[in-house]
Every structure is written in structure tokens, then in C-alpha cells.
Amino acid sequence: MTAGESHPLIVAIDGPSGVGKSTVARRLAERLRVPFLDTGAMYRAIGLKVLESGADPHDRKMVVALSDAADVRLGRRPDGSFEVLLDGEPVESRIRTPEVGEATSAISTYPEVRQRMVRLQREAATHFGAVLEGRDIGTRVFPDTPYKFFLDARSDVRFRRRFEELQATGQPVTYADVEEDIRRRDLRDSTRIDSPLTRDDSYVFIDASDLSVEEVVERMAREIEGE
Ligand code: DC
């Protein structure tokens, strides 16, 4: 909550894969002194659960049953950010693989899964305020917040960024794999029926292709602080 405001501060950052939303959202949250919530990690927790149980991510009935049974909660890290817990355990170290990304893109098309995640996101953020990043934060989760940003970048910049991220974690990926993976997910995320990735005039659009993380954060903070 910022000084003088009676409502918790809610900042929505939406945009496609590999655009650097998490890094920017985390830094912005630190600057604004509100928690950071990576909503993609919540969907990834369900994707992980589905893969670990051996189910087919395209089997909607099975996925919805697994999702209903999964204990997904949001804990708090020492730095104040939200941490996704699946059945009591932190999931962060297990959800960043291309396999989990692909399964997650499929399971996040199901409205039953989305409703549950949206409810958890609203509960957590309404209480403390938050910078939330995802695909539907400004369109569905908090459509009334005045602070909405759509972060985008040229596709070659996004492919390279995600490729370097995965390489840095020692995963055996090729650039071509990453490119194909992101293209497929972009298409699915923006064409699904329930809460597709989209933006309207209520968003501030930022093309991050040629901007540093600091520059993007600065631009957002100025917009919020009204400078
Ligand atoms: O941002 P990410 O790559 O961690 O997201 C993983 C998947 O989850 C992605 O395919 C889209 C989906 N997602 C979503 O549908 N809605 C959100 N608010 C966040 C992520």
C-alpha cells in the first residue's frame, strides 16, 4: 500500500513468453515495496503435477481432477515475494524446463484450472497489494487496476533471452528448439478461448527490445508514481 492510499497497490504486467516480465516485475515490486507474484509459476505447478503423475496434459478431465486435488498455496519468501508451494513443497527449482512449459501451456487453456488460480491470485494480492505478472492480469484478474503494462519485444530478442536463460541452467537445448517452443506457446496463449493474451487501451504498452531492465522498471515506476 502506498502512502495516502486506502486500496492496496495492484500492478498488472502482461505479455508473451521470454520478454523478461519476471525480472522486471520483481524489481518493480522491490521498488514499490509490495510483494511480487509470478502467476505463470502457479500454472506451472499444475503442469508439473500433471507430468509427474504421468497424465496427458491434453486429457482435460484428468487434468481438472488433478488440479482440484492439488494443494497449491502461496507462501512468502524472506524478500517478501510470493512463493508457489505444491503439496507443501516449493516448486521453483522444478518448473523451468521446456517440458513443464509445454504441459503448462496446454493445461492453462482449461477454464476450471484458470478459475482456481485467479481466485488464489486475487486473495493474495488484495490483502497485501502486489506486482503480478502473467497473461491475463489486466484483462481478468484485476481489470480495474489503473496500473496495467503490456511488455513486448521482437521475437528474435525473446528467443535469444529464453535460450540464454535455459543454457545458463545447464539444460541441453538448441536455439531452434527454443524458437519452436515459444512460437507454439505464443500461438496457444493468444488464441485460447478463456482469457487469451491480449491488450486494450487501458494498458501502457512497452517495447522492451532495446531497453535495459532498469529502463523498463523506471518507465513503469514513473507511470505509477505520476512523475
Ligand atoms: O510466464 P510463463 O512462461 O511462466 O507461463 C507459463 C504458461 O502459463 C504459459 O504458457 C501461459 C500460462 N499462463 C497463463 O495462462 N496465465 C497467466 N496469468 C500466466 C501464465
CATH number of the domain to which 83 belongs:
3.40.50.300
Residue 220 lies in a domain: no
Residue 155 lies in a domain: yes
Residue 222 lies in a domain: no
**Count of structural domains within the chain:** 1
- The rounded Å distance from CA 40 to ligand 1 centre is 4
Determine the atom of ligand 1 nearest the C-alpha atom of 22: 1
Which residue range is the domain that position 50 belongs to?
Answer: 10-210
> CA 168, 173, 175, 180 torsion: positive or negative?
negative
Q: 90 burial class (0-12, 13-18, 19+ CB within 10 angstroms)?
A: middle
Determine the atom of ligand 1 nearest the C-alpha atom of 192: 15
Pocket mutation for ligand 1, best pick of 14, 135, 188 (most atoms within 8 Å of C-beta): 135
Taking phi over 0 as left and psi of -120 to 50 as alpha, with beta for the rest, 196 belongs to beta
Residue 227 lies in a domain: no
Per-residue confidence in pLDDT tens, the chain, 227 aa: 444 456 899 999 999 988 999 999 999 999 999 999 999 999 999 999 999 999 999 999 999 999 999 999 999 999 989 999 999 999 999 999 889 998 999 999 999 999 999 999 999 999 889 999 999 999 999 999 999 999 999 999 999 998 998 889 888 889 999 999 899 989 988 999 999 988 989 999 999 999 999 999 999 999 999 86
Residue 5 lies in a domain: no
